[in-house]
Every structure is written in C-alpha cells, then in structure tokens.
C-alpha cells in the first residue's frame, strides 16, 4: 500500500483576513451613509430652488426667500445655508416657437376632433 500525502489548502483558514474584510466593509458603509445623507440633502435643496425658480415670475422675492429658508430649516442645514441672494434677469422666459408648433400638430392629429 502506498500512502499519498494530501496537502490541505489553507486558504481562508485564517481569521485575520475575514476580520480585515469585515472592518473595511464597516468603514465603507459608515462613510458611505454619511456622504449619502449629505448628497440627499443637497439634491432636495437643489430641487426646491429649481421649483421656486420656475414659479418665480408670479412670486415676490420675499416669498421665495421665506420658502427656501423653511426648506433649509426642515433639512437641518447650517445657518450659512439659509442665506440666499435672489437675482432676477430682465428678460421674461418664453416658450420656443418649435414647442408651440409641436403642440399644434399633436392637437391636429387628435382622435377627438
């Protein structure tokens, strides 16, 4: 009888590799959640500013500033984030002729004529 020595693969047998991997995952999650929260607040504030800019022709600067400050308070932003300067351009926004023509074409082909 011939005895063959089988070598065992010791891959993964150590606990340090698993511990280090787990530690790296925990650190990545911790910082990822904190950065994600800041990014989410930024996106919400940017969306509110865009919304107010769309409604700006019919609203006074005081109302816009009050709404933006209320949103900053609701998001828990620092006091520096509550300072806004509203600058209006002299030109009114208008729809392009191309967009109006597109709507006319759609209405012409509507089945409800």
* Tens-place pLDDT, residues 3-44: 555 555 555 556 677 888 888 899 888 888 888 888 898 899
70 band by pLDDT with thresholds 50, 70 and 90: very high
In-domain check, residue 50:
yes
In-domain check, residue 59:
yes
Report the Cα–Cα distance between both ends of the chain, in Å, rounded: 96
* Tens-place pLDDT, residues 73-94: 998 888 887 888 888 877 665 5
* Tens-place pLDDT, residues 49-63: 899 888 888 888 899
In-domain check, residue 101:
no
CA proximity to 88, closest of 70, 64, 72: 64
DSSP string, 54-88: HHGGGS-HHHHHHHHHHHHHHHT--GGGG------
What is this structure's pTM? 0.53
Domain count, the chain: 1
In-domain check, residue 30:
yes
**Which residue range forms the structural domain that includes residue 62?**
20-85
In-domain check, residue 93:
no
Taking residue 71's Cβ as centre, other Cβ atoms within 10 Å add up to 19
Taking residue 72's Cβ as centre, other Cβ atoms within 10 Å add up to 21
In-domain check, residue 10:
no
In-domain check, residue 92:
no
Average pLDDT, the chain: 76
């Amino acid at each position: 009888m011939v005895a063959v020595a089988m070598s065992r693969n010791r891959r993964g047998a150590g606990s340090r590799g698993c511990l280090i991997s787990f530690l790296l995952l925990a650190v990545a999650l911790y910082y990822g959640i904190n950065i994600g929260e800041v990014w989410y607040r930024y996106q919400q504030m940017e969306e509110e500013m865009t919304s107010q800019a769309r409604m700006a022709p019919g609203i006074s600067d005081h109302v816009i500033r009050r709404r933006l400050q209320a949103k900053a308070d609701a998001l828990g932003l620092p006091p520096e984030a509550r300072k806004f300067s509203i600058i209006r351009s002299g030109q009114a926004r208008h729809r392009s002729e191309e967009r109006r023509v597109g709507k006319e074409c759609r209405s012409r082909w509507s089945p409800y004529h």
